[in-house]
Each structure stands twice: as C-alpha cells, then as structure tokens.
A and B are shown apart, each in its own frame.
Chain A
Amino acid sequence: MKSSSNIAAVAPWVAAALVLVLGVGSLFLGVADVSLHDVLTDPEARSVFLISRVPRTVALFLAGAAMAVAGLIMQHLARNRFVSPTTAGTIDAAALGLLTATLLFAGASVMSKILIAMLFALAGSLLFIVLIQRIQFKDLILVPLVGLLLGGVFRAIAEFFAYRNNLTQTLDVWLNGDFSGVIQGRYETLYFAGVVALVAYVFANWFTVAGMGRDFATNVGVNYKVVMGAGLTIAALATAVVVVTVGAIPFLGLIVPNIVTLMLGDNMRRVLPTTALAGAALVIACDMLGRWIIFPYEIAVGTIVGVIGSAIFLVLVLRRNRYAQA
C-alpha cells in the first residue's frame, strides 16, 4: 500500500498540471484567432481574450470543481457511490426553483434566483434522503434510481409550467450547461460555487465521519443531523449557482468523485482537492471538445459531459460487483 499513498501525494499535482495545460488551451481555442503575441500587441485580440476567453475558462474551472465537490459530498452523506446532484433530483429541483423564480418574480435579480433555486434544490435533496431512509432494501442501484425518478417528477412539473408559459426552450438551456454565452460580467456568481467548494474542504473531516454512518459519527461526538444539513446545503448551493449561471452539467458530480475515490480512497480531506481539480479538468476538456468538433459552431458542454458521463456511469454500474463492495 506504500504505492497508494504515493499516488495520493502526487494526484493533486497531476490534476493541477492537467487543469493548467487544458486551461491555457481553452484560452487560445475559439472562432477568433488569438495568439499570445496578439494578446500582447493587438488591442482587439486582447479584448476578445479578456472579455470572453478568460471568463469562459475561469467559469469552466469553477463550475467543474463545484459540481464534482457537490457530488463527492452527496455520495458520502447518502452512503451510496451513485448518489450525486444528477441522481438525487437535485439538479431538476434547482431548475424547477429557477423556473418558479422566473415565473413568480419576473424582475428577480440573479442572486435571488440563485437563492430560490438553492432552496428548491435543498428541499429536493432532503425529500430524496427521507425517501431512501424509508427504503428497507438499500440496494446500490435502487437508491440512485429513486433519485432519478424523483428528478423526473420535478422535471415533469417544470416542463408543464414551462410549456404553459412558453419557456420550454429556456428550461432546456438551464438543464444543459453551455458556456458559449459566458463573458465578463455574466459568470461572476460562479465564484460563490468556488467559495462553497473551499468551505467543503474546511469541513471535510465531518463529511468523512458522516460517511462512516450515523452511529460512528455520534460516537466521536459529531452531530450527524447538523453535518447532513450543512452538506446538503453546500451541494444544493453549488448546484443552484451552476444551473442559474451556465446551466446544469449532468453526471459530472457522479463520475468524477467515483473515479478519484477509486484511486485515492474515501478520506475526504485527502480526495477533495483532486476531485475538484479533476472535475475542472474534465469540464474544460469537454468544452474544448464541444468547440472543436463542429468548428466554427459549438456543441454545449452539458451534452458532451452527458454523453461521456452516462457512458462511464454505465460502465461503473456494470462493474459494480467488483467495485462497489470495496
């Protein structure tokens, strides 16, 4: 096992290097041809760079890191590796909340939309937790299925009201993350998601303890209900910020924590930085792929991550006998 602790020491640096390389790539990939030389000499290229490319890359980083951390927390709290904002109804609940805010308070500010979306996401996650606590047969697959069903119900309600109010296209945009509209002044709320991820790191030990079970947490003097509430709030806030600002990135919070914990174990303090960085790297990579495939047009990053993520999810499910026992 000496080698595994070596992996643990190296992993965050590898992930950080990956983020750096991809981030630089993302800065120089786009319809307008912008090179480093242009940025330094050409004022027009510089403004493209500062108003569009830098914000887009920063937004990708923050959204990816936050969604991965949200997923990591949720799988610990639910004690099920397949629970994430996608598979617990959290994303759909946030979208329903955003729709509610849009319909009821037409002129609502971005901040109040985030707040309402967060409250819906939190309520949705809590409902999910209550539901799975009532299921006696806690199967590894059954639990996320319940979450997907619950998310389907939230989404159906949202679609009903969206249809009646000519907002179905808007709803689709919220549910499928797209960074092509990210420019300076329209992504800064994502910094909240970054702060949320940092807060999660500060309390990482709590979540590890809670992930060991209620009795285990109580024994070492940790208030299980408080940790549960705090963790779900963090995950709901991160999800709400991302859904409101750029749209949902499905499956990210599911696959990234799974792959990272498979390599590094479940001690959250140790895996959280790598999880956040790997989430950021994956989203930046998928966004670059989306910009490149049908250049000069774009495929939304939510679609790319959704395709890759659901495929990986399937592999994890099919391998579960070998994997999830561990």
Chain B
Amino acid sequence: MITTSDLTKTYDKTVVVDNVSVSLPDAGVTSVIGANGAGKSTLLSMISRILDADAGSVAVDGLDVFNAPSREIAKRLSILRQETHMTARITVREVVEFGRYPHSRGRLTEECVQKVDEAIAYCDLGEFEQRGIHELSGGQRQRAFIAMVLAQDTRYVLLDEPLNNLDMPHATGVMKLLRRLADDHGKSIVLVLHDINYASVYSDRIVAMKDGVITADGAPESVMNADTLERIYDMRFSVIDLDGDKIAAYFR
C-alpha cells in the first residue's frame, strides 16, 4: 500500500497540493482526475520522490520514499512521466533494459534478460526491438516506456498522463495494456488521466482532485455522476449508461 500523510507542496505562495492524506491500494487500476492545476501531477511526482514535498510524508509498503535508498524504492515503485526533450538515440531494447537497472545496476543477469524479453513480447514490441526510440511513433514509444516499467517489475506503476498525444486507437491500446497488467500481473496501476471516460471504463477506483485536495474518491459508479463531476470541474455534465459503462458528455 502507498500511504501519504499531510502531503503539501507550495509554489510561490500557491498551495498546489494541500495536506493530502490518501491510501492507494496494492492492486488494481486507480485513476486520478481533475482540472488543470488541481495538483494531480504534483501529487504523483511527490509520491514517486521525483519532487520533494514541503511537508508530509509518503510510505510505500512502509518505506519512506524521501529517505529510503532510491534504489530500494525503484524496486517497488516505478513512475513514467512525459519527458519533453526525449532526444536520446537508444534502441527500444536498451530502454527496456534500463528498467532492470535497480535490480542489476547495468549488469544484466539471466533473470533480467528473461524479464526484458517478456516485457517486449507483452507490449508487442518484438519487431521494433532494435529500432531507436526516436524513430517510433508516439504510441509505439509510449509502449516502449511501459515495457520498461514492466521489466522494472515493481508492484506499483505510476503514470502521468500516459495518453497524451495519442490518437484513439493508441490510447485505447495503452489503456487495455495497463488493465491487463493489473489483472494478469496483480500490479497496482496509478495514473493521471484527463479523459474521464477512460477513467470510468478502465479503473477500479477514481480519485478526483480540485485545488490541491481530494474532493471525490471511490468506485467509478460513485464518482461518475453529473453532480460529482460538476463539483470537480465547475461545468455541466450529463452521464449516460452505455452497456454498463458510465459515460460522461460535457461538450455543450
């Protein structure tokens, strides 16, 4: 379980994450939703120790992420963020192999090679294995990075807006892949999403943030209703039931 207590981050007097105490489960898909600036990415960055907290603490399976050895955290939790300057010319396989770094420090064991092979096959990247990541399309590259965190083999996989810049087939492909990861491998996937309908269809739990605090938290059925969504986003919603999925419309 990941537990945050009184986690706070302030930028120039603006409180971005305000005393958040939340527990994230050790299995299933959890989506974090909310408007721009609600503090979703900042929360995820602090949980994954990429960003220091101004106050509060985060524990991953009892380990304090800010003080435990970074390598120990890296064996339990992985984080995938959108990097803006992704210009390194390295191959897909090399990227995936870096996922084994916390375990082997660059000297791949037999187990490592096996995990890397599995991850590449699982993400359907066999034919791109020796290609440079800079040569891939956005969807393929996203899959390569997911394969990397898969090879990292952590219980918790955190993703910050993994659907950014992906078209519909690729976005759905990535969501299906993440769902399978949770179901087949028993991992806990925590992701920041802007598309609330993906959150609704693929999550076990939705955590909604507004102005740095959690305003709604529960199963998709309990969050995906017009009242709650209007409270989160300050705009009009209508929610319809489509073959058992709650789908929100917000276009007018």
Contacts and interface: CB of A to CB of B under 8 A. Distances in A.
Interface in A80-130: none
Interface residues of B, number: 36
A265 B79 contact: no
B252 interface: no
Interface in B131-159: 131-132, 134-135, 149, 152
B13 interface: no
A208 B133 CA distance: 14
Contacts of B86: 212-213
Nearest to B154: A219
B25 interface: no
Interface string A249-276: 0000000000001000111010000000
Nearest to B149: A219
A205 B87 contact: no
Interface stretch (B30-38, B70-78, B112-120, B218-226): B70-78
Contacts of A216: 83, 98
Interface string B97-113: 01101100110000000
B1 interface: no
B87 A221 contact: no
B130 interface: yes
Contact of B50 (A138, A218, A269): A218
A315 interface: no
Given A79-B87, A326-B134, A218 B49 contact: yes
Given A1-B130, A213-B83, A215-B83, A221 B89 contact: no
B48 interface: yes
Contact of A221 (B50, B74, B91, B135): B74
Contacts of B90: 208, 212, 265-267
Contacts of B149: 219
B105 A266 contact: no
A5 interface: yes
Interface of B: 48-50, 69-75, 78-81, 83, 85-91, 94, 98-99, 101-102, 105-106, 130-132, 134-135, 149, 152
